[in-house]
Amino acid sequence: MKRRLTAIIGKEADTYVAFCPEVDIASQGDSLEEARTNLKEALELFFETAPMDEVASRLLDEVYITQVDIAIG
């Protein structure tokens, strides 16, 4: 079974941090592509090893990504 999940990747200093909000799993890498690859590996490992009840309790069916405007200063 395949499922498309969300990957949110941001740069923190010299490291890229990748996060999947559907299951609350993160990883990192020295480049954007490495962070994405490492997140994919972390997700595959989670789904291969986690008990089904943990997967069911963490896996969100809907994730909404949007932007908000705020005043700073």
Please list the residues that pair with 8 across neighbouring strands.
Answer: 19
Q: Which two tokens stand for residue 29?
A: 């890498």
Q: DSSP alpha helices (H): ranges in 1-73? A: 32-49, 52-58
Rounded to whole angstroms, the Cα distance separating 69 from 66 reads 10
Q: Model pTM greater than 0.85? A: yes
Q: Which two tokens stand for residue 37?
A: 């690859």
**pLDDT value, residue 6:** 96
pLDDT in tens, 5-19: 999 999 999 999 999
Q: Which two tokens stand for residue 53?
A: 């009840």
**Integer distance in angstroms from the first to the last C-alpha of the chain?**
48
pLDDT in tens, 20-52: 999 999 999 999 999 999 999 999 999 999 999
